[in-house]
């Protein structure tokens, strides 16, 4: 191949790479902290499994999940770091005859699609899946284990966005912990929520 032809091909390749890089940069919006931070606040029911009784016993508590988005892909998909905290109390039952403070403190990586995934979402319903690791405080002390989560998000009533979340804690600490099922119902709040009403109007207009 002649040097001139080589230079022409290299120039064309460089231009192509610049175009692709520019398109990618346009598709990825630079995020400031207010764009990154989301949070859910609500209540939780934790079903604690007692292997000695082969049954579950409920603990009731409050739930708070701060989420920091670290990447957005288009208007309807994002990845975030979640810290879904639960604090509450377990009252003595026949399946678990002990009254104690309950706490659960996991860190998850979550992929979210649709509603509440970004400030530009256009979907009335959103879904999310997550996985990570968490600590658990019970009458047995401090345990730990793998955590899996799935969530659904949508508008509840006008201008009110909610999340319904399920989590499973797989105990890895032997006798120091329990397997547990978590069910949360929470409102999506904070500065991030300010633009959701506007996005909801756009979503409705686009559906017609």
Looking at the fold, whether 165 and 103 belong to one and the same domain comes out as: yes
Q: Are residues 6 and 49 in the same domain?
A: no
Domain that holds residue 44: 32-207
- Judgement on whether residues 78 and 156 belong to the same structural domain of the protein: yes
127 and 172 fall within a common domain: yes
119 and 75 together in one domain: yes
Three-state helix/strand/coil letters over the chain: CCHHHHHHHHHHHHHHHHHHHHHHHHHCCCCCHHHHEEEEEEEEEEEEEECCCCEEEEEEEEEEEEEEEEEECCCCEEEEEECCEEEEEECCCCCCCCCEEEEEEEEEEEEEEECCCCCCCCCCEEEEEEEEEEEEEECCEEEEEEEEEEEEEEEEECCEEEEEEEEEEEECCHHHCCCEEEEEEEEEECHHHHHHHHHHHHHHHHHC
Q: For 29-65, how does the pLDDT look when each residue is reduced to its tens digit (9 = 90+)?
A: 566 666 788 899 999 999 999 988 888 999 999 999 9
Please report where in the chains the tokens 């069910």 appear, as a residue. 183
Do 22 and 77 reside in the same domain of the chain?
A: no
Domain identity same for 152 and 198: yes
Whether residues 5 and 39 fall in one domain: no
Q: For each successive 10 residues of the chain (208 residues), what is the average pLDDT?
A: 52 46 44 78 96 91 95 90 97 93 97 88 89 96 96 85 96 93 92 62 51
- If one counts the domains in the chain, the total is 2
Do 105 and 183 belong to one domain? Answer: yes
Instruction: Please give the pLDDT value at position 129.
Output: 98
- Is the four-CA dihedral 93, 96, 100, 106 of positive or negative sign? negative
Q: Are residues 24 and 93 in the same domain?
A: no
71 and 118 share a domain?
A: yes
CATH (domain of 92): 2.40.160.20
Same domain? 90 vs 187: yes
pLDDT at residue 15 in the model: 47
């Amino acid at each position: 191949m002649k040097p001139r032809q080589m230079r022409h091909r290299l120039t064309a390749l460089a231009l192509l790479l610049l175009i692709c890089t520019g398109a990618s940069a346009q598709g990825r919006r630079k995020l400031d902290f207010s764009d990154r931070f989301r949070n859910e606040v609500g209540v939780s029911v934790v079903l604690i499994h007692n292997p000695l009784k082969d049954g579950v016993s409920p603990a009731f508590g409050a739930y708070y999940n701060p989420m920091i988005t670290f990447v957005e892909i288009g208007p309807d998909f994002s990845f975030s770091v979640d810290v879904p905290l639960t604090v509450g109390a377990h009252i003595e039952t026949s399946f678990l005859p002990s009254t104690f403070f309950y706490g659960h403190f996991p860190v998850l990586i979550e992929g979210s699609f649709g509603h509440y995934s970004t400030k530009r979402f256009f979907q009335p319903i959103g879904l999310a899946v997550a996985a990570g690791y968490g600590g658990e405080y019970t009458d047995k002390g401090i345990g730990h284990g793998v955590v899996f989560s799935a969530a659904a998000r949508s508008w509840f009533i006008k201008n009110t966005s909610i999340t319904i979340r399920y989590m499973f804690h797989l105990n890895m600490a032997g006798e120091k912990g329990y397997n547990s099922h978590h069910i949360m119902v929470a409102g999506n709040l904070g500065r991030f929520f300010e633009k959701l009403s506007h996005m909801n109007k756009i979503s409705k207009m686009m559906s017609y």
